[in-house]
Amino acid sequence: MMQTRPSNLQVMKNQLSKNHFKMTTTAISRQPITCYPCSQIFPSLQPSQWLRHIRLRRIKLSLLLLLPLLLPSCNKTPISLPSFREMPSPIAEDLSSVAFADSLHGSLTGGKAWEHGFVMNTEDGGLTWHTDTVFDWKMEQVCFDSKGQGYACGQNLLLYKPSGEEHWRLFRADFQWLRACHFPTGKRGAVVGGEGYHGGHAYTFGPDPFWKLDTLQTFPNEIESVWYSDSVTLHAVGFGWVMRSSNAGRSWERLDITGDFFQSVHFPTPSTGYICGNSGTILKTSDGGQHWRVIRKGGSTGKRLKPFRALRFATADKGWIVGDQGIFWQTEDGGDSWNPVEEAPADADFTAVFLLGNKGWATAKGGRLFGFDD
């Protein structure tokens, strides 16, 4: 018996007469998507109000999608820094940090983990550099105290250089990976470290001369950076940890802050401080580190993911943050907005930034060194 094939119009009428229908699309998903009539979605609305309600929802959704584009922190305008320049470096190995005792005398550290490390010196403001000391382990960071004495730390080693002397001396050697150091004076300082995201430790020195070890504290997680905000208040950050000590490192309080591998902490004033992480988080405190607020939220993917490595502030409001993939940002409003420096090369993986007066220097992987005027 011959069957009559329904017309396309009849098929559409049959579909529309159902309470709901299903459709499958391969362009978006291989799973069926169930659609419901407006009477089920908006049961309290009359049919004449459905269209108006849908239009309002579309407007709200459009505003939500446009909101990120309207926020200053997300719409970063590049700024020009004509003084930004790449400086000559006599080595092709990764540089990890730079610091200056004055406008002419400074030092660099770097190397490759478990293979070799070095400390280099300059006496002409960074125009030329010469190798002072070479090791079998990577050197991580260098700093100078208020009297011009230098300190450098790395894998298994802690060095110092008396003010006015030309060469570095070995202070101690052990089997600890020392990541960062900060010595405001020759009688007060701290060194932190760890390895493989764990095995964290903090050495604090003082109030006697720095070579007298005062306190050693250990922690489950790796500690990456340390800074004094005043003579007795210390701050340290690392893998998912933010800590504060109010007694010069004799004891530490872990704050309820997680969510990133925090890389750098810096206080331009006793009350104002900043922290950055290698997933893009930036934190700020205005009360000496007792409380912190997020001024930039990081992420594991997308635009929120920014591999920050270090930050340094000249004042409570003006500072710089650097990282991989050419990240070299400046803020002049305390971190409310950030502007990338357009002269910074996109292929530079920055590792550290240092400020002294109106001058600045930054290190990067591959032996790259940069200078700029603030």
Hunting for tokens 């493989």 — which residue is that? 196
Long-range contacts of range 312-315, CB-CB < 8 Å, 24 or more positions apart?
Answer: 312/266, 312/353, 312/354, 312/355, 312/360, 313/266, 313/268, 313/272, 313/274, 313/355, 314/268, 314/355, 314/374, 315/268, 315/269
319 confidence band (pLDDT: 50, 70, 90): very high
> Is pLDDT at 366 greater than 70 in this prediction?
yes
DSSP for 80-112, written as a single string: --TT-EEEP-S--SPEEEEEESSSS-EEEEEEE
User: Quick one: pLDDT at residue 229?
Assistant: 98
What gap in Å lies between CA 81 and CA 374, rounded to an integer?
Answer: 9
What gap in Å lies between CA 270 and CA 17, rounded to an integer?
Answer: 72
Digit-coded pLDDT (tens) for 113-130: 999 999 999 999 999 999
Q: Is residue 145 within 8 Å of 183, Cβ to Cβ?
A: yes
175 confidence band (pLDDT: 50, 70, 90): confident
Checking DSSP bridges between strand 273-277 and strand 282-285, what pairing results, if any? antiparallel
For 16, phi and psi rounded to 5 degrees? -70, -20
DSSP for 32-57, written as a single string: -EEE--HHHHSTTS-HHHHHHHHHHH
Torsion of CA 34, 35, 41, 45, to 10 degrees: -160
Q: Which of 243, 276, 245, 283 is nearest to 261 (CA)?
A: 276
Of residues 212 and 328, more confidence is placed in 328
User: Quick one: pLDDT at residue 36?
Assistant: 42
296 confidence band (pLDDT: 50, 70, 90): very high
Q: Is 42 left (phi over 0), alpha (psi -120 to 50) or beta?
A: beta
User: Quick one: pLDDT at residue 214?
Assistant: 73
Instruction: Give 3-state DSSP helix, strand, coil % of the chain, rounded to 5.
Output: 10, 45, 45
Indicate if the alpha-carbon torsion angle 207, 222, 307, 157 is positive or negative. Answer: positive
Cis peptide before 207 (omega within 30 of 0): yes
Name all domains of the chain by residue range, CATH numbers in brackets.
Answer: 40-70 (no CATH), 85-373 (2.130.10.10)
Predicted TM-score of the model (pTM) = 0.80
For 304, the 3-state DSSP assignment is helix
47 confidence band (pLDDT: 50, 70, 90): low
What gap in Å lies between CA 183 and CA 187, rounded to an integer?
Answer: 8
190 confidence band (pLDDT: 50, 70, 90): very high
